Amino acid sequence: MGPVSTPSSDAPSSPRRVHLVHFGCQMNELDAELVVGDLARRGWGRTDDAAQADLILVNTCSVREHAEEKVWSLLGTYKPLKKRRPALRIGVLGCMAQRVKGEIARRAPHVDLVLGTSSFRRVVEDLDDVERRGGRIVRTDRRPDPDSLPDADREISVREHRHRAYVTVMRGCDHVCAYCIVPFTRGRETSRRKADVLAEVERLAADGVREVTFLGQNINTYGKDRPDEGGLCGLLEDAARVPGVDRLRFLTSNPFDMTEDMMRRFGALPKVMPWLHIPAQSGSDRVLARMKRTYTAAQYREVVGWARRHVPGVEVTSDFIVGFPGETDEDFALTKALLEETRLVQAYVFKYSVRPNTLAARTLEDDVPEEVKRARNLALLEAQDAISEAANRALLGTVVEVLLDEPSKTDPARMSGRTPGNRLVHVLAGGELAGRLARVRVTDATAHSLRGERVEVEPAPRAWTSSR
Ligand code: SAH
Ligand code: F3S
């Protein structure tokens, strides 16, 4: 018998495949989806195996040094792949592309595309260019025009989750928290037109999405640059009227741009889920002042108090940084006291990481030793875990509402979903119930999730509206 011929991988009949890795925040997850959508329109498929890919894209994060280190080592593993298959194309997108483009050229010459936070949607066109002309393309333009943000014309059929979706409503941040790289990588606040956001929500809802989470680095000032659009509350009020949308969420809310009146308006909108992510960062006024957070610990407590007063059933989550320059044992004790007193349902805790060119990097010495940072990190996480576990255990035996979203990653007999307060629940249910709301009795609770049994499930998708 002669050799069996198999179609070569570049035959037009076999679609080219992209392997995509993303790091960092929810916006990065969505940005990666936007790019995969653009490629899908051109007939590209996906692969989980970098060695099988025709194109590898890495959407990067610069918020801590560790996130950047992971990207450097990943890029190193792609070198032999490219050597074996010179037709392989590699792209670095997002915050690191914006921040260290020169270094990428030097340390990773096998990278073909370097596209920053305003340019990453150009993958398809730039790839064509590289194929035609060879060489590499580097784009790190600052956003040229607020009407051409990289969110336009999203391919909504390409989504990780069928029944919930992220929608970016603004990019960038006008604050300059001393530790934060985001204003450098993502630039000034720029809001999308409300009509564009609502049109995207309508298309997503028509495609089965019931829960929409609006994203922005400092979302409470959405629309500051578009004074006629009605701000975040106006956007939520209009989005709540989109047929098929049951649940709305948004993040990140910073304490300094939150008002009591906004809380009242969130509380008056039943479709706005009672969950607010409000990073505290520290409980010490001295540290907060050095961080340029412009609020005190007392003001943070007040903001949480407004939420609890005006948003029925609200759950607040937070971020903390330990080991910021000059943080003493006494400062840290104040942070721990804030965490223990506010008893938030969940908090992320990060060790301070120096980010080049930030105010803190330029003016403050990174003087808290690594082992002290580690010990404070652990102490805060332990304290938070105890609070989270108690909060979850308090729900044992009660009935919560869950939007059954996707198969549980840990138990094939279960579907995972979220309560209105954004707690993760693994429910005994089969995949045929995806997209339904269910009333669920909580049977087990750990610090990070709940397990439960169905009491009642919507008879057909969208037969109920979410209640809180
Ligand atoms: N408002 C932004 C914040 C991005 S960074 C958003 O939500 O998109 C997310 C969190 O990372 C911050 O709230 C902060 O707690 C932490 N963080 C930011 N810069 C940091 C740094 N240099 N070192 C350690 N943690 C940091
Ligand atoms: Fe960063 Fe502070 Fe803005 S944490 S994203 S500079 S509000």
Closest CA relative to residue 266, chosen from 246, 237, 223: 237
- 10 vs 161 pLDDT, higher one: 161
* Chain centre to alpha carbon of residue 100: 22
Could you give the 3-state DSSP secondary structure of residue 326?
A: coil
Q: CA angle 435-436-437, nearest 5°?
A: 125
Local confidence band at 4 (pLDDT 50, 70, 90 cut-offs): very low
Res 14: pLDDT: 75
DSSP labels, 33-77 = HHHHHHHHHTT-EE-S-GGG-SEEEEEE--SSHHHHHHHHHHHHH
Residues with CB under 6 A from ligand 2: 173, 175-177, 180, 182-183, 217-218, 254
Neighbours of 129 (CB within 10 A): 15
Side-by-side strand order, sheet with 164-168: 164-168, 211-215, 247-251
> pLDDT digits over 52-95, tens only?
999 999 999 999 999 999 999 999 999 999 999 999 999 999 99
> Which of 10-14, 172-176, 398-402 has the weakest average pLDDT?
10-14
Ligand 2 midpoint to CA 219 (Å): 11
Q: Does domain 17-139 have CATH number 3.40.50.12160?
A: yes
Ligand 1 midpoint to CA 343 (Å): 21
* CA gap 456, 441 in Å, rounded: 9
146-392 is classed in which CATH architecture? Alpha-Beta Horseshoe (3.80)
Of 175, 300, 350, the one to substitute when testing ligand 2's pocket (max ligand atoms within 8 A of C-beta) is 175
Closest CA relative to residue 224, chosen from 159, 170, 145, 185: 170
Fill in the amino acid letter for 299. Q
User: What superfamily would CATH give domain 399-457?
Assistant: Nucleic acid-binding proteins (2.40.50.140)
Of 64, 214, 364, the one to substitute when testing ligand 1's pocket (max ligand atoms within 8 A of C-beta) is 64
279 lines ligand 1 (CB under 6 A): yes
Q: What is the mean pLDDT of residues 339-360?
A: 98
25 lines ligand 1 (CB under 6 A): yes
Res 147: pLDDT: 66
Ligand 1 midpoint to CA 147 (Å): 27
Residue with CA closest to ligand 2 atom 7: 175
63 lines ligand 1 (CB under 6 A): yes
Residue with CA closest to ligand 1 atom 11: 63
> pLDDT digits over 275-302, tens only?
999 999 999 999 999 999 999 999 999 9
Local confidence band at 144 (pLDDT 50, 70, 90 cut-offs): low
Of 180, 186, 214, the one to substitute when testing ligand 1's pocket (max ligand atoms within 8 A of C-beta) is 180
Judged by phi (left if over 0) then psi (alpha if -120 to 50, else beta), residue 366 lies in: beta
Domain boundaries, given as residue ranges, for the chain: 17-139, 146-392, 399-457
Helix 329-342 to helix 370-393 angle (10° resolution) is 10
> pLDDT digits over 17-36, tens only?
999 999 999 999 999 999 99
Residue with CA closest to ligand 2 atom 1: 180
Residue with CA closest to ligand 2 atom 2: 177
* Chain centre to alpha carbon of residue 157: 19
User: Are the CB atoms for 364 and 354 separated by under 8 Å?
Assistant: no
Fill in the amino acid letter for 79. K
Neighbours of 133 (CB within 10 A): 8
Ligand 1 midpoint to CA 259 (Å): 22
Of 28, 63, 185, 293, the one to substitute when testing ligand 1's pocket (max ligand atoms within 8 A of C-beta) is 63
